[in-house]
Structure 1
Amino acid sequence: MCIVFVGGWATSRQQYPLLSESARFLVPFTGFEPNELPELIGRGGDVLVGWSTGAHMLLKDCRHLFGLYGKVLLIAPFLSFTDSFPTRLIKGMIAGMESDPAAVVSSFHENCGETKPPAYDPADHDFLIAGLEYLITSKIEPDEVMNLSHCTIAHGSKDRIVRRKAFEKLTAVIEEAEILNFEGGHKISETQLMSIIKG
């Protein structure tokens, strides 16, 4: 099975070890620039998965490629990250990246529901700041309702990153997608994720 996984801000392979062994594992900012994503996923495959910022990027720039995949799964997508987090809080994270970046990244992972946050890599510093700046400005403003007929849109009941109101703002402008609510936080467990992929 050909699986392409597009992660979120500060995603690490450590978070999904089994998936990272079997899937093409793409991480925004530290692994690629947003404008490179359409080319990176353009060969198609069996399953395309986007998580958080990765799901946002796929919806924003790659909807025309969804038909190249047998299944598309978008976990905790959003139209604008500022629908969940005010710009001042994101700017606070950027300021924190200059004073104590390890603490900012660790706190973010903990808020995702991550029990064993991956270690901060100083080499990622500038890329992670660029990612936060992207999250302040990037928005999807659909001209019409988006038809996502072979997509599953998933959201955790205890998600503290992409909050319910932001998720509902997105689902209000899509049609034909399967909406899946799962027990958990922003980070879907690998067991839950693999079950959906294979289901």
Structure 2
Amino acid sequence: MNIVFVGGWASSPSQYPQLAETARFLVPFSEFDPEELPALLEEGGDVLVGWSTGAHILLKECRHLFVRFKKVVLIAPFLSFTDSFPVRLVRGMIQGMDKDPAEVVRSFHENCAEPEPPAYNSKESAALVAGLEYLISSKIEISGKVLLPDLTIVHGNSDRIVRRKAFDKVMTALENVQVVEIEGGHKIPEPELLSIIKG
């Protein structure tokens, strides 16, 4: 099965080791800028997965490419990150990246309900700050209902990063979408993720 996984802010293949063994794992900002993503997905595949910021970028930049995949799964998608996470908190994270970036990243992963946070890579500091700036400004404007092929959106009922009101805005904007509600936080356990992808 050909799977493309577009991660979130400060994500790493080590968070989903089984998936990373076979999937093409793309990390925003450290590996590509959002506007570069369409070119990376042109060939299509079996399953396209976006998590959090990755889901947002896919909805914003790549909706026209969803037809090239048999299935699209968006986990914790949002139209605007600030619908869920106040600008002041994101700016606080940006300021914190100057003082103690490892702690900012560790705290973020903790809020994601990540049991084993990936190690902080100091070489990615500038990319992570660029990602936070992007999350403050990036918004998806959708007028009317959008129908996208074979789309599943997933939300954890105790997600502290993309809260219910932000997820509901995505659900309202999309037509004929399959919604999967799970018990858990922002980071879906790998067995459940694999079940959703292959289901």
1:188 — aligned with what?
A: 188
Name the counterpart of 1:96: 96
1:136-147 correspondence runs (5 A) = 136-147=136-147
Q: Please give the secondary structure, in 1, of the residue aligned with 2:139.
A: coil
CA distance in 2, matches of 1:144, 1:43: 29
Structure 1 length as normaliser, TM-score? 0.99
User: Runs of 5+ in structure 2 lacking a partner?
Assistant: none
- Counterpart of 1:42 in structure 2 is 42
2-structure distance, mates of 1:61, 1:35: 7
Quick check: 2:67–2:149 contact (8 Å CA) kept in 1? no
- CA shift digits 1:1-41 (9 cap, x unpaired): 10000000000111000111100000000111111100001
1:148: Cα distance to partner?
2.3
Say whether the 8 Å CA contact 2:66–2:149 is kept in structure 1.
Answer: no
User: Displacement, 1:83?
Assistant: 0.2
| Normalised TM-score (structure 2) | 0.99
Which residue pairs with 1:61 in the alignment? 61
Deviation at 1:132?
Answer: 0.1
Aligned pairs, number? 199
Aligned to 1:14: 14
Cα displacement string for residues 77-115 of structure 1 (whole angstroms, at most 9, x for unaligned residues)? 000000011111100000000000000000000000001
**4+ residue runs over 3 A deviation:** none
In structure 2, the partner of 1:168 is: 168
The separation in 2 between residues aligned to 1:156 and 1:136, in whole angstroms, is: 22
Task: Show the counterpart of 1:76.
Answer: 76
CA deviation after TM superposition for structure 1 residue 145, in Å: 1.2
Q: Which digits, 9 at most, give the CA deviation of each residue in 1:39-91, with x for residues without a partner? A: 00110000000000000000011000000000000000000000011111100
1:62 is matched by which residue type in structure 2?
A: C
Amino acid at match of 1:39: A
Q: Equivalent residue for 1:122? A: 122
